[in-house]
Structure 1
Amino acid sequence: MTPRTAGALAADTLLVLVFAAIGRASHDEGNALLGVLGTAWPFVAGVGVGWVVVHRTGRRTAVDLGPGITVWLCAVVIGMLLRRLVGDGTALSFVIVATLVLGLFLLGWRAAYAAWERRSAQRPLEK
């Protein structure tokens, strides 16, 4: 795994943890660290599945925006399925919020990174 890929996987994981922390804080739920981990783990597993799917299909790296869509959708679908299996909530409002926020987080950083790469590539080399 290249440093770029490892950083991207770490960014996805961190952003899922941020999503869980924000959600728990907005509902004033206790036991901060264990609660965040308990909320985040199904979505982190989904991110992992998404990365494996991208790798197995031979597509570009999951750092790119297109494959990032696969990572995002896997995070949401697998995350919700795992939550359902363990008896956690999957109310429609939660599914909608999770889909939108994870989409913003997991695709947003990729879009910003792609724009930064394009801009860097357009700059003339300094002597």
Structure 2
Amino acid sequence: MKRFAPAAVDLLLVIVFCAIGRRSHDEDVLAGLVKTVWPFAVGLLVGWGIAWAVARGRRFDPAALWPSGVVIWGSTLVGGMVLRAVSGQGTAVSFMIVAASVLALFLLGWRAAVRALR
């Protein structure tokens, strides 16, 4: 179970990010949550795959800030935005800035806290 904790934390934080966004725009949080989450969840999954591939030959530490955290954050953001655009969801510049900031805080923040506590 401990092996899957970082992935579960990342997914939970992506869901929280999307729920906060829906709530801040007075949208029904639960009714459209899957529609909002799926592009970022796919980007997250791809990021995990890339981070694992980058670590090939070395010990993969998904809780590491670098390179795992940065790769996972970047893939979640870019993949999420590309999939949102392809699926007809909004990708306004202001949203991209907010998404980059909040996802960095969430996906890199917990990793930085773990590193500081080690």
Same fold (TM > 0.5): yes
* Cα deviation, residue 40, structure 1: 1.1
Q: Is the 8 A contact 1:72 1:106 kept in 2?
A: yes
Tell me the equivalent position of 1:5: 3
Q: Determine whether 1:54 maps to 2:51.
A: yes
* Cα deviation, residue 25, structure 1: 0.5
Q: Is the 8 A contact 1:20 1:36 kept in 2?
A: yes
* Cα deviation, residue 38, structure 1: 1.2
Amino acid at match of 2:90: G
Normalised to the residue count of structure 2, the TM-score between the two structures is 0.91
Counterpart of 1:43 (choices 40, 44, 57) is 40
* Cα deviation, residue 113, structure 1: 0.9
Task: Give the Cα separation in 1 of the matches to 2:50 and 2:16.
Answer: 24
Counterpart of 1:27 (choices 25, 28, 41) is 25
Distance 1:65 1:85, change over 3 A: same
Task: Give the Cα separation in 2 of the matches to 1:26 and 1:113.
Answer: 29
Larger Cα-atom Rg: 1
Q: Is the 8 A contact 1:54 1:61 kept in 2?
A: no
Q: Determine whether 1:71 maps to 2:72.
A: yes
Q: CA RMSD in A?
A: 1.1
Aligned pair count? Answer: 114
Q: Is the 8 A contact 1:65 1:107 kept in 2?
A: yes
Task: Give the Cα separation in 1 of the matches to 2:11 and 2:61.
Answer: 16
Q: Is the 8 A contact 1:5 1:61 kept in 2?
A: no
Task: Give the Cα separation in 2 of the matches to 1:39 and 1:110.
Answer: 24
After alignment, is 76-85 or 37-46 more displaced?
37-46
Higher relative contact order (CA 8 A, sep 6+): 2
Tell me the equivalent position of 2:98: 97
Unaligned runs of 5+ in 1: 118-127
Tell me the equivalent position of 1:16: 14
Over 4 Å off, 4+ runs: none
